[in-house]
Structure 1
């Protein structure tokens, strides 16, 4: 019977160590044996995993994707063996999680760091970016996503809450430029927006049928970071469409004023996603539970109806 795991350990070690020789030293075999094992693995898969030269080895595109899956499998096996040996379901190993930049930095990262303090054997790798990633291909264990989810059969999703979008401006800006009352008025205002490659600046506004749709706006300033967008709005640089978890405090204290109320207020769901496996790894389970607990406690962040804006 064909051994489907043959060559995987050699492949991962060769990449980690940077050469067949270094991998062979750790495994107690020859460099030639490591190279042949990886060659047999490539032949079985029908793809080239490594570019080989006399001085170095480099991953191919297929090799990068396969390496992420191999690491996940090896970590899961290590954790299963540890649990069997100790009888403990204490989370351990590295948790790789991808978060939206501003929301993640403000609200999710502190909860994850507290989780790491409670579980000393749990290590974190956190990426902050405002674009969707292929979790399976990049070896991401968990992700938090804001907005509608597509169809991802390899992932499990749990709703944490939602965010509401409001359009606001500093009182000083409105005193200078007046308050918009219709979508057409936005053409005569300085709008502050996010910055997306190839995407025209737009906001979610309610149409004549009561449904929310994207409407292009004239962007005076484009900023990819939510905190920078908030700062620009507070400084009187223009109008901005911001989530209540970001603008709520400024709205409550009067530093910002909400405008176009009848046309704004779009709600976007917030989910946590993780890879579908035959069992939920302890390190993923405790993180899911921690974020679900955070969402239940912080309704001001995860429940627009409780934001008071």
Structure 2
């Protein structure tokens, strides 16, 4: 008896509720399907299915066995896919969604690298600062910031940590001086996101304490790129995630302030369905992104600074 084949036949009969439909789906004869079930029951020494002329139902033993069989078959299929994916070709449309600021600063740089190795994959990219229902809206993979609750059928995988960075242009620092503590920000011009709760205070993690720092906004905007240009022009001090200003800090266009203190951080998360449900194009993208961030507990954008 081919036990694996008999298990696949049993699972298909249970799934479709019919020997005839299972035979058609598996491209087998009715006789072969019936023989496989009989051999499996003989091997186990118990009946798995109650059969009538109109209906099939699982016995108590069959109910226990089908759960284990499904797990075993899924793991076998996953093992096969893991090995054969190396020789298969990813193709089709890959729908990605991501946080807007991370997408502009990092995905825009990374996606061409992925596309170069996957010429038959068409990238459909949506960036948004609003919440996205990955499954409901038909996305394959999402890249988000912060800790969010996701459907239990999805895998949420941390790619990296991004620290909050207080920064200003060298010109601004030369004119106004460098703050020595967060409380000094009350004497500086601040460039601020246009959220009402941030207009007068910045909630910061000052080492091990959470504090609300009074600030004076010089500019507010709902767009990080606008605030960045204002900071580069010497208009004031801003707080941004490290991944948005890595190049500015490296080149010296912006100066990191209070760098000896921890101001807070956020997680960069990749979310996707279980590997058992992944297409080849999704698998290659997930592996590519994981390879770009080999140390998920660290901040790669501040590593060299």
Q: TM-score, normalised by structure 1?
A: 0.61
1:181 equivalenced with 2:183 (yes/no): no
For 1:1-309, what aligned pairs fall within 5 Å after superposition? 89-196=88-195, 199-201=197-199, 203-207=202-206, 210-212=208-210, 215=213, 217-276=215-274, 278-296=276-294, 302-303=299-300, 306-308=303-305
> Take 1:170 and 1:226, find their aligned partners in 2: how far apart are those partners?
16
> Take 1:177 and 1:128, find their aligned partners in 2: how far apart are those partners?
36
CA RMSD of aligned residues (A): 3.3
Distance 1:200 1:265, change over 3 A: closer
Q: Structure 1: give runs of 5+ residues left out of the alignment.
A: 4-82
Is the Cα–Cα contact under 8 Å of residues 90 and 280 in structure 2 kept in the other structure?
Answer: yes
Residue 253 of structure 1 deviates from its aligned partner by 4.0
Aligned residues: 222
Is the Cα–Cα contact under 8 Å of residues 106 and 243 in structure 2 kept in the other structure?
Answer: no
Residue 138 of structure 1 deviates from its aligned partner by 1.3
Q: Secondary structure at the match of 1:273?
A: strand
Q: Secondary structure at the match of 1:130?
A: coil
Deviations for 1:169-222, whole angstroms, at most 9, x for unmatched residues? 1232233333333333323322112234x6534545234x71345656443222
Is the Cα–Cα contact under 8 Å of residues 295 and 302 in structure 1 kept in the other structure?
Answer: no
User: Bigger radius of gyration, 1 or 2?
Assistant: 2
> Take 1:113 and 1:174, find their aligned partners in 2: how far apart are those partners?
36
Residue 151 of structure 1 deviates from its aligned partner by 4.8
Distance 1:122 1:253, change over 3 A: closer
> Take 1:170 and 1:136, find their aligned partners in 2: how far apart are those partners?
42
Is the Cα–Cα contact under 8 Å of residues 100 and 129 in structure 1 kept in the other structure?
Answer: yes
Distance 1:271 1:214, change over 3 A: farther
Residue 98 of structure 1 deviates from its aligned partner by 1.0
Residue 287 of structure 1 deviates from its aligned partner by 0.5
Residue 99 of structure 1 deviates from its aligned partner by 1.7
Distance 1:251 1:173, change over 3 A: same
Is the Cα–Cα contact under 8 Å of residues 230 and 246 in structure 1 kept in the other structure?
Answer: no
Q: Structure 2: give runs of 5+ residues left out of the alignment.
A: 1-15, 17-80
